[in-house]
């Protein structure tokens, strides 16, 4: 709340002053209505709209970084709020018939505000396209922020399951192969022990960036659990999946991650495995992928 007031002090002050000025003008020119003359339905309807406009403004200012699109939306919503506010004042204050400026005050800001809003939304759309491009390889087909893991941030296991369900249907429909690759960091527990769990979290974040860089545009990276990542590869057969898995393993081995505290290199390596989807459900496929990983890990456990 504090940062909101801080960033948008000017806008909010201006709106506050304008609303007060409107109120003072009305009080100066008109007289208060008796309570008996109040029309409750209008008061609730117009008052509710006014409050809602203010809530929208607050949400927009709070949820968006400051900038051009935010300003356009804020101006638009401020005008809408002002227009409804003046409308609401009518319910309490009676102005003499000779006065006409109140109609202007009430009606003029509304179309202006709506134009600003429309223009702002149009640019918001373009901004969203630009942001979606950054989400490439992190989300496909649908968005659900509640299924995203807060640390990395990637889709979690539930997001992966939903995606798998859709992708399996799609691949069956289009007669295209679908493969999965799993990437598991070796000795992640040792990293946590040696460098602390905070550094372990940073390793996971670095791994996320690294893996994303090594994927194709249509691939999807999810964090299954802990230090285990899964890549969904649409239109990809067994051989290509195995090749991509090998590339990811090499990329992890070459990542020279530095610890925050002493800046020393954290040696990383990963075990990878891949499977191609047969006619099966997501749960079965994930199970098979997990067993393939366990098999790939076994010689490692014996040699350790």
Partner 1 sequence: MTVPCPWYECDSRFIAAHQQPATLIELCLSRGIDSHRLLRGTGLFVEDVPKADTLISPAQFLTLIENAERLLGADDSSFLFGQRLLPGHNGAASQALALANNLQQALELLGELRALLSPLLSPRLLLEDQHAYLYWLDSCGAGSQQRFLLEANMTAVVAMSRRLGGEHLPWQCHFRQAPPRYIEQYWVNLGEDLHFNRPYNLLRLPREYLTQPWPQTIQSTAQVACQQARQQLQQLGTQASLLDTLQRWLLRHVRQAPNLEHAAAAFAMSPATLKRKLHKHGTSYQEQHDQIRMLVALYLYQLKGYSNDEVAAHLRFSDATNLRRSFKRWTGLAPSALLALLRG
- Residues in contact with partner 1 by CB under 8 A are 149-150, 156-158, 184, 189-190, 192-193, 197-198, 201, 224-228, 286, 290-291, 294, 297, 301, 304
In the complex with partner 1, the residue whose CB is nearer, 6 or 150, is 150
Distances (CA, A) of 72 to 4, 17, 211, 229, 246: 17, 19, 37, 40, 49
Strand partners, 257: 266
Please tell me the distance from the alpha carbon of residue 247 to that of residue 239, in angstroms, as a whole number. 13
Please tell me the distance from the alpha carbon of residue 183 to that of residue 269, in angstroms, as a whole number. 10
Strand, helix or coil for residue 266: strand
Strand, helix or coil for residue 93: strand
| Minimum distance from residue 210 beta carbon to partner 1 (Å) | 19
In the complex with partner 1, the residue whose CB is nearer, 226 or 253, is 226
In the complex with partner 1, the residue whose CB is nearer, 2 or 173, is 2
In the complex with partner 1, the residue whose CB is nearer, 165 or 201, is 201
Tokens of 277: 């989807």
| Minimum distance from residue 6 beta carbon to partner 1 (Å) | 21
| Minimum distance from residue 235 beta carbon to partner 1 (Å) | 25
In the complex with partner 1, the residue whose CB is nearer, 123 or 297, is 297
Distances (CA, A) of 184 to 1, 92, 139, 180, 207: 41, 68, 20, 13, 10
**Number of other residues whose CB lies within 10 A of the CB of residue 40:** 9
Nearest to 120 by CA among 60, 198, 52: 60
| Minimum distance from residue 81 beta carbon to partner 1 (Å) | 32
| Minimum distance from residue 227 beta carbon to partner 1 (Å) | 7
- Spatial contact of 206 and 214, defined as CB atoms under 8 Å apart: no
In the complex with partner 1, the residue whose CB is nearer, 179 or 271, is 271
| Minimum distance from residue 206 beta carbon to partner 1 (Å) | 17
């Amino acid at each position: 709340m504090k940062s909101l007031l801080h960033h948008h002090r000017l806008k909010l002050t201006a709106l506050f002053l304008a609303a007060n000025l409107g109120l003072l003008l009305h009080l100066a020119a008109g007289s208060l209505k008796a309570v008996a003359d109040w029309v409750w339905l209008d008061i609730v309807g117009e008052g509710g709209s006014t409050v809602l406009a203010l809530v929208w403004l607050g949400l927009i200012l709070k949820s968006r970084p400051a900038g051009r699109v935010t300003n356009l939306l804020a101006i638009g919503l401020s005008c809408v709020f002002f227009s409804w506010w003046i409308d609401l004042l009518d319910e309490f204050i009676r102005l003499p018939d000779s006065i006409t400026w109140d109609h202007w005050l009430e009606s003029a800001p509304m179309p202006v505000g709506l134009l600003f809003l429309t223009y702002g939304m149009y640019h918001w759309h373009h901004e969203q396209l630009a942001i979606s491009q950054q989400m490439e390889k992190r989300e496909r087909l649908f968005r659900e922020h509640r299924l995203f893991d807060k640390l990395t941030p990637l889709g979690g296991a539930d997001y992966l399951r939903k995606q798998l369900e859709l992708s399996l249907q799609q691949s069956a429909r289009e007669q295209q192969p679908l493969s999965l690759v799993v990437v598991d960091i070796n000795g992640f527990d040792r990293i946590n022990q040696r460098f602390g769990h905070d550094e372990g979290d940073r390793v996971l974040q670095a791994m996320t960036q690294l893996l994303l860089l090594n994927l194709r545009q249509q691939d999807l990276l999810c964090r299954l659990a802990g230090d285990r990542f899964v890549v969904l590869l649409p239109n990809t057969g067994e051989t290509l999946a195995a090749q991509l898995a090998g590339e990811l393993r090499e990329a992890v081995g070459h990542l020279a991650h530095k610890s925050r505290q002493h800046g020393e290199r954290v040696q990383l390596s990963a075990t990878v495995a891949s499977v191609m989807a047969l006619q099966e459900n997501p749960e079965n496929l994930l199970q098979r992928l997990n067993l393939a990983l366990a098999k790939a890990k076994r010689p490692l456990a014996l040699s350790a």
